[in-house]
Structure 1
Amino acid sequence: MSASSRIRNPELLQRLMSAEAAAALIPNGAVVGMSGFTGAGYPKAIPTALAHRIRDLNGQGEKFRISIWTGASTAPELDGVLAEVDGIEMRLPFQSDPICRQRINDGRMDYIDIHLSEVSQYAWAGFLGKLDLAVIEVAGILEDGRLIPSSAVGNNKTWIEQADKIIIEVNDKQNAKLEGMHDIYYGTALPPNRKPIMITSPADRIGEQYLHCPLDKVIGVVETSAADRNSPFTPPDEVSKRIAGHILEFFEREIAAGRLPKELLPIQSGVGNIPNAVLEGLDAGPYKNLTAFTEVIQDGMLKMLKSGTLGVASATAFSLSPVAIEELNNNIDFYRERIILRQQDISNHPELARRLGVIAMNGLIEADIYGNVNSTHIMGSRMMNGIGGSGDFARNGYLSIFVTPSTAKNGSISAIVPMVSHVDHTEHDVKIIVTEQGLADLRGLSPRQRAHKIIQNCAHPAYRERLMDYFERACASGRGMHTPHLLGEALSWHQRYEENGQM
């Protein structure tokens, strides 16, 4: 099936053009909102055509750069190709591309790291300036011009509403039966006109299946036939399995204590090896008809839906391996009844995370002995990816669980340090920290009690004694006993690593 057979609106069919012609419509200095979230639903052809154009202009001595807003991370065919030709002036709100990361950390690309739930509000309020153009991938266009969203919704609704001009990529590699999986809510508003968002279960639908798109804004339509970026699924390693084991034991204790129902509460899970290990552990357990209210549908959630461990999953995008994509496509009718894809200002909304009582599970780079978490910066200054949606769920969820191996770089770095070099999640928002060494339940503990728990339960044995020595000397310093620190030493571990390659 060709993409043109999915363009059912005659007026938009007349605006069909090549990716090169569409890229030529993007002016130098433009602010461009592009679809895409965790390697799904991003435009496949126009960014590459634009990168070729920029390379040609660079060769002629002409500088050409644009600013890019997305839902979250995209793929090498968008972030990578445009960063490689130095075509990105500013990027928001999240990225994971190595070339982008290098440009950001070299100071050659501006980067704004924002809670994913807030991006739409920032745009609507005008905090970010004017959005000139949107480039949106869809699975099809209806007769009346409404758009069938593809494998990610992200901020597409907002980009379409805010942009002066719109270019649409219609991708026939996106399963046509995605139609009906989406729930696009048109009831959001800025203060003081907000109303409650009437979702009381992850299964609730409150919106529409399609994106509204003013036809007079559309300046081009491009056909594509390219799959999303999909990384092969890596089975969880032993460290990940041990971390998952601690979390699953914790859930059992919470159920026994009456603090969690036997069906748990809606699960939010970050992307990666450890979250997938937790999902595999849940799937192997006694659970049935769990729910997920999260950002991303991963391989593990498809397996849980298939087995009945998970009854419904609400998210804003897929992040699937090639094998899982095949499974989704082969059984799309089954999954369409159990998966809801929403825009990210709903999938990540703090009101909903708090109301539903989400169990949030996210990764970290480092945590300190008092429970502050750094999830974005290496050694305090170098951006890794961004905060993503972890803050949306950590502050507002019923449980906020942060997970990490206890060491990195073959033991040269401790994930538990005296003081984090950058704070994304304060001690007030962090309830549980888990490493392969153990789990620290920080609820109801004072700072000094938290320090004992984190050091004893989570720190690697190679660093545990030194952390306790630091803590005890800080307590003995007389500087203050509420949150004891030795300011001259608090970041010395990071300094030692920078100088010697070893904490």
Structure 2
Amino acid sequence: MQSWQPQTSRLYQTGATLDKTPGRNRPEIAREQQVEQRIHHAGLAGKIMSAEEAATHIQPGMTVGMSGFTGSGYPKAVPLALAGRIEAAQGRGEKFALRVLTGASTAPELDGALAKAGGIDFRLPYQSDPELRARINRGEIDYMDVHLGQVAQYTWFGFLGKIDLAVVEVAGILPDGRLIPSTSIGNNKTWLDLADKVILEVNSTQPLGLDGMHDIYYGTALPPNRQPIPLTQAGDHIGEPYLRVDPAKVVAVVKTHAPDRLGRFTPPDETSQRIAGHLVEFLKHEIRMGRLPENLLPLQSGVGNIANAVLGGLRDGGFSNLTAFTEVIQDGMLDLIRTDTIRMASATALSLSPEGVQEFARNIDHYRERIVLRPQEISNHAELVRRLGCIGINGMVEADLYGNVNSTHVAGTSIINGIGGSGDFARNGFLSCFVTPSTAKNGAISCIVPMVSHVDHTEHDVCIIVTEQGLADLRGLSPKQRARTVIANCAHPDYRPLLQDYFDRACRDSKGKHTPHLLGEALSWHERLVEQGSMRPN
């Protein structure tokens, strides 16, 4: 793989200058000029219009691909304008709903606004908005929870139907019409390639220093024409820094000046720190045993406070020269990149707190040399995860005695967010680790149960389970050996005797002795939760 140096476009090199005409330096005029100076294609500059005008291109029943991944890089203006249009139409008694496809979760201005307006019929592949989640769980919206690495492939195969229109946020438009991607790429390449029409939002709050941080690979193909993807190191550049779009398909360009809607991460609590400590000690043990190199293997980390705690534990544990091949870079990973604990990180999106955004913008030249943002069909590609030997670290809702993991549902029926990319890394990575506190809801719920109420990751794909109680290494164990290990190391003391009692009786009374279960009792813990609000027996 040849060494690649970031090449910044003329747009970034020249920067932006404000109009010095007296009386025209009001903040809104300055912002407008900043956006206009990011649009260097004459034909596309002629398609600038308001979000309300752009939204008229979206018609009822359309399948719309929108940018956005974990609250970053999503369109800010057109979805809000569209929601207003939908509400007006439904006020007149007209049905107006869409099939909405994204990279992952977005933000209230997109998922929340459209869901509240009743404007979504179908949604994939991941979500986290409370309004959208509630409507999905009430059966008002069809939701397809799918591995993030498979969305582009499903779309190219035609499983999701025709993509009528794409709405994509970008940081700028080059003179030749290529697009500087924003803070996430997700499925944007696929939407731009396949959509009949395209609306671009050019957001001037996204730093132009992003230019050169992206790597868009256009070499994927459908079977039987596939070739190996030429990526052998997390930091390899195998594509180009910009997204392509046919200017003739672009029907509107909308100027925006709005930040990504990102939450703050709370400092790791004692439980998270204990989980992190168990996992860090395990990784050190694997190094001593010769199963991992001193700088580990490329890390994949899910989103959340426990993931941040684990990353902080790696820094405090003296690890260095690390790499990451993951989906999302959040504050914990950014801090490791800032201190060069991680020397190179590949992802498809940034998901930073407001403080993290400020740090990223202040030192963007440092980060541009150490971060590569890719389409999620590459960041989550099974071929690459297997080749690189990634260490996957993801959260879960619950695990059962035999190592099956539920990462998406409460009591088997109510979706929380979705499987995201955890399955891409659990199935294909070198080491799949799942982490959770041993209990939830002040002890009313045990996160270690006899049988999970919904299976996202089977026992065949789960290597390590970690709670604040300890770590269970399930590699090389039979089902009953796994059960004993999980009970002894991961269960909360309040629930450990109950789990041991269930397992002992299952070993005695189950018809099959390979994976013993009492079928009439296996989900009774969840039944108690639904009926009484607690898994504890009366």
TM score, norm. by length of structure 2: 0.93
1:160 shift after superposition: 0.5
Q: Counterpart of 1:190?
A: 222
1:233 shift after superposition: 2.4
Q: Counterpart of 2:183?
A: 151
1:288 shift after superposition: 1.4
1:343 paired to 2:375: yes
1:493 paired to 2:528: no
Q: Residue type of the partner of 1:352?
A: L
* Displacement over 6 Å in runs of 4+: none
**SS of equivalent to 2:495:** helix
1:106 paired to 2:135: no
Q: How does 1:34-433 map to 2 (within 5 A)?
A: 34-433=66-465
CA distance in structure 2 between the aligned counterparts of 1:233 and 1:454, rounded to whole angstroms: 29
**SS of equivalent to 1:39:** coil
Q: Residue type of the partner of 2:98?
A: I
Q: Residue type of the partner of 2:261?
A: R
CA distance in structure 2 between the aligned counterparts of 1:346 and 1:110, rounded to whole angstroms: 27
1:478 shift after superposition: 4.5
CA distance in structure 2 between the aligned counterparts of 1:289 and 1:261, rounded to whole angstroms: 11
Q: Counterpart of 2:46?
A: 14
The answer to whether the Cα contact below 8 Å between 2:401 and 2:482 also exists between their aligned partners in 1 is yes
**SS of equivalent to 2:171:** strand
Q: How does 1:470-485 map to 2 (within 5 A)?
A: 470-485=502-517
The answer to whether the Cα contact below 8 Å between 2:510 and 2:517 also exists between their aligned partners in 1 is no
CA distance in structure 1 between the aligned counterparts of 2:533 and 2:310, rounded to whole angstroms: 32
CA distance in structure 2 between the aligned counterparts of 1:175 and 1:233, rounded to whole angstroms: 22
Are residues 478 and 211 of structure 1, via their aligned partners in 2, closer, same or farther at CA, if it must alter by over 3 Å? Answer: closer
Aligned alpha-carbon RMSD (Å) = 0.7
Q: Deviations over 1:351-408 (max 9, x none)?
A: 1111101000000001000000000111000011110000000011100000000001
**SS of equivalent to 2:193:** helix
CA distance in structure 2 between the aligned counterparts of 1:499 and 1:327, rounded to whole angstroms: 47
Q: Deviations over 1:65-105 (max 9, x none)?
A: 11100000000010000001111010000000010100000
Q: Residue type of the partner of 1:385?
A: N
Q: Deviations over 1:149-203 (max 9, x none)?
A: 0000000000001100000000000001100000000000011111101111101
The answer to whether the Cα contact below 8 Å between 2:510 and 2:518 also exists between their aligned partners in 1 is no
1:285 shift after superposition: 2.2
CA distance in structure 2 between the aligned counterparts of 1:128 and 1:66, rounded to whole angstroms: 13
CA distance in structure 1 between the aligned counterparts of 2:79 and 2:431, rounded to whole angstroms: 39
1:47 shift after superposition: 0.3
**SS of equivalent to 2:378:** helix
CA distance in structure 1 between the aligned counterparts of 2:507 and 2:320, rounded to whole angstroms: 47
1:442 paired to 2:474: yes
CA distance in structure 2 between the aligned counterparts of 1:488 and 1:301, rounded to whole angstroms: 45
1:63 shift after superposition: 1.7
CA distance in structure 2 between the aligned counterparts of 1:325 and 1:305, rounded to whole angstroms: 14
1:343 shift after superposition: 0.1
Q: Residue type of the partner of 1:327?
A: E
CA distance in structure 1 between the aligned counterparts of 2:222 and 2:304, rounded to whole angstroms: 34
CA distance in structure 1 between the aligned counterparts of 2:250 and 2:401, rounded to whole angstroms: 53
CA distance in structure 1 between the aligned counterparts of 2:68 and 2:311, rounded to whole angstroms: 24
Q: Residue type of the partner of 2:480?
A: R
CA distance in structure 1 between the aligned counterparts of 2:507 and 2:520, rounded to whole angstroms: 14
CA distance in structure 2 between the aligned counterparts of 1:138 and 1:478, rounded to whole angstroms: 58
Number of residues paired by the alignment? 503
Q: Residue type of the partner of 2:80?
A: T
**SS of equivalent to 1:461:** coil
Q: Residue type of the partner of 1:154?
A: G
Identity %: 66
CA distance in structure 2 between the aligned counterparts of 1:426 and 1:80, rounded to whole angstroms: 32
CA distance in structure 2 between the aligned counterparts of 1:493 and 1:301, rounded to whole angstroms: 37
Q: Deviations over 1:250-279 (max 9, x none)?
A: 011101110110001000000001010011
CA distance in structure 2 between the aligned counterparts of 1:88 and 1:145, rounded to whole angstroms: 31
CA distance in structure 1 between the aligned counterparts of 2:397 and 2:153, rounded to whole angstroms: 28
Are residues 314 and 204 of structure 1, via their aligned partners in 2, closer, same or farther at CA, if it must alter by over 3 Å? Answer: same
1:2 shift after superposition: 1.9
CA distance in structure 1 between the aligned counterparts of 2:294 and 2:357, rounded to whole angstroms: 31
Are residues 478 and 337 of structure 1, via their aligned partners in 2, closer, same or farther at CA, if it must alter by over 3 Å? Answer: closer
Q: Deviations over 1:402-431 (max 9, x none)?
A: 000000111011000000000000000000
